[in-house]
A and B are shown apart, each in its own frame.
Chain A
């Protein structure tokens, strides 16, 4: 099951491959954004609705000669807070669509998760999925291109959300877990309560153009694994067990361990 995503026979130059991978990553990130657009639009609508209603309420209160300034001020403060909330949603989105930054930096896995948490939760909520974070404290730092690793995680979460489509809402669960792995690795798992991956395709899961989604290109996991391998890490699938469900485990080496 550890077949390489791209079996190289006559390989192009490594830097060419890297550039290609980066472009593919960007495209795949934009595709993820497209899939998440509905959820984000819904999320943005909330503060906008609140702003419009608070403002119109203030207008009515003033037009009717209300002297309850505390109530009006409270509404105005709410308008400010909701404006900032909308800005925060846009900021999270922009962080993900900006052109990739190729720099690798020493970073904390939990911090990466914290940054993408908002988007992932938005997406989960829009699909009636409970997303739980279980972050182990004080993890060893890793060396990573932050945006790329975030893209891999979001990709796994998106796959999990899609896997839960046929599951009743009260049993739609995803756990995003970090743990100090063995052998100088940090471990990150995405576990869902869905049906698990069909055994027939488990062995080819990470090969390009293998997909179970009607509209999928089958590149998400292939690109994800390429990104992870470029970080000297591993990305593996294992079934959760009797109750079904899928678990994807991402392992990345500690910063002092190389890369």
Chain B
């Protein structure tokens, strides 16, 4: 699928009536939804490239919503998950939030509450995908640097002056200047400040661009 494909709401619930009614409700406000009767069925059809969000029942036989969330997390999935819980499931909802759920909702829910959360989740997914794409781009640029250029980049982001770099690396200041220019050009940075920000974003935890599915999703 391409990055431009339409966002979908994935409804995962073992109860047929809850599933169909949620799908119709979403459809009635113009949000296309796809339903799955089990966590496994969702997982079997999961496409990291497909933008959207998941509306997930916390309590299901065999694989619960929480277990599915953990599997998605392990795969480095960035798709936001809204949990649907029953009355007695608050501890489960808390656990889900601790594991990075986007939000949760108690059954039965008001249409506006569901629609608001879904809209916000879709927006979050969109922003996530843009950021991930940007990160992957920077990552790829960094990978295109030669070992020496990467060394220079490392020293630049630590704020070392050219003179110190030259001494550290045992080369002339002129050579350092040439490498610097190449690094700026290859990274597509117009200022040192911008370059530092790029590298900080890359190395920030949470933005795991090294996981295969995250990188795939960013294409």
- Give Cα distance in the complex from A47 to B25, angstroms: 15
**A-chain residues with CB within 8 Å of residue B170 when the two chains form the complex:** none
> Which segment of B59-67, B71-79, B116-124, B143-151 sits at the interface?
B59-67
- Asked whether B21 lies within 8 Å of A128 as measured between CB atoms, the reply is no
| Residue of B with least CB distance to A38 | B88
Bound state CA distance, A111 and B86, in angstroms?
A: 32
| Chain B proximity mask over A23-61: 1 for CB below 8 Å, otherwise 0 | 000000000000000100110011111111110111111
Interface positions of B from 20 to 47, Cβ below 8 Å from A: 20-22, 24-25, 27-29
Interface segment out of the listed B2-10, B105-113, B131-139, B156-164? B105-113
Residues A169 and B61 in contact, CB atoms below 8 Å apart: yes
Query: Does A64 reach chain B (CB closer than 8 Å)?
Result: yes
B-contact bits for A68-90, CB 8 A (1 contact / 0 none): 00010001001001100100000
Give the contacting residue for A45; candidates B22, B27, B86, B110; CB below 8 A: B86
Q: Let me know if A46 and B61 touch, CB within 8 A.
A: no
Residue contacts A-B, CB under 8 angstroms, 10 given? A41-B86, A42-B59, A42-B88, A45-B108, A49-B107, A61-B28, A81-B17, A128-B64, A169-B64, A170-B62
Q: Taking each of B17, B28, B88, B107, which has the highest tally of chain A beta carbons within 10 Å of its own beta carbon?
A: B28
Minimum CB distance partner of B88 in chain A: A38
* Given the contacts A41-B86, A57-B21, A85-B17, A49 and B108 also touching, CB distance less than 8 Å: yes
B-chain residues with CB within 8 Å of residue A42 when the two chains form the complex: 59, 86-88
Residues of A within 8 A of B21 (CB): 49-54, 57, 75, 78, 82
Q: Is B140 part of the contact surface with A, judged by Cβ < 8 Å?
A: no
Contacts of B22 in A (CB 8 A): 49, 53
Whole-angstrom distance between the alpha carbons of A89 and B201 in the complex?
Answer: 54
Residues of the B chain whose Cβ atoms lie less than 8 Å from the Cβ of A57: 21, 24-25, 27-28, 111
Verify if B166 is at the interface (C-beta below 8 Å from A).
no
Is A75 within 8 A of B24, CB to CB? yes
Q: Is B216 an interface residue (CB 8 A)?
A: no
B97 at interface (Cβ–Cβ under 8 A)?
no
B61 CB contacts on chain A under 8 angstroms? 125, 128, 130, 169
The verdict on B18 contacting chain A, using a C-beta distance below 8 Å, is yes
Inter-subunit contact B15/A53 (CB<8 Å)? no
Within 8 A of A (CB), among B61-101: 61-62, 64, 86-88
Q: Which residues of B contact A170 (CB under 8 A)?
A: 62
CA distance A49 to B59 in the complex (A): 14
Q: How many residues of B contact A (CB 8 A)?
A: 24
Q: Are B17 and A47 in contact (CB under 8 A)?
A: yes
> What is B's interface to A at a CB cutoff of 8 Å?
15, 17-18, 20-22, 24-25, 27-29, 59, 61-62, 64, 86-88, 107-111, 114
What is the interface size of chain A, counting residues whose CB is below 8 A from a CB of the partner? 33
Check if B24 sits within 8 Å of A53, measured CB to CB.
Answer: yes
- Minimum Cβ distance to chain A for residue B40 (Å): 11
Q: Does A82 contact B17, Cβ atoms closer than 8 Å?
A: yes
- CB contacts (< 8 Å) of A46 on chain B: these are 15, 17-18, 107
Q: Which residues of A contact B87 (CB under 8 A)?
A: 41-42, 45
Most B Cβ at <10 Å: residue of A56, A125, A169, A170: A56
Residues from chain A with Cβ under 8 Å of B29 in the complex: 60
Q: A48-B108, A54-B21 are in contact. Are A128 and B62 (CB under 8 A)?
A: yes
A64 CA / B111 CA spacing, docked (Å): 15
7 other A-B residue contacts (CB within 8 Å) besides A53-B24, A53-B108, A169-B64: A50-B15, A50-B18, A52-B108, A54-B24, A78-B17, A78-B20, A82-B17
A170 to B59, CA, bound (A): 15
1/0 per residue, CB under 8 A from B, across A169-180: the answer is 110000000000
A235 to B24, CA, bound (A): 51
Q: How far is the CB of A88 from chain B (nearest CB, A)?
A: 13
Instruction: Please give, as numbers and ranges, the residues of chain A lying within 8 Å of B27 by CB-CB distance.
Output: 57
Central interface residue in B21, B61, B87, by most chain A CB within 10 Å: B21
| Cross-chain contact of B17 among A50, A58, A61 (Cβ < 8 A) | A50
A53–B18 touching, CB < 8 Å: yes
Residues of B within 8 A of A51 (CB): 21, 108
The 9 closest A-B pairs by CB, nearest first: A53-B21, A60-B28, A50-B17, A56-B111, A49-B108, A57-B25, A50-B21, A52-B108, A57-B28
- Distance A208 CA – B189 CA, assembled complex (angstroms): 79
Q: A64 to B87, alpha carbons, bound, how many Å?
A: 32
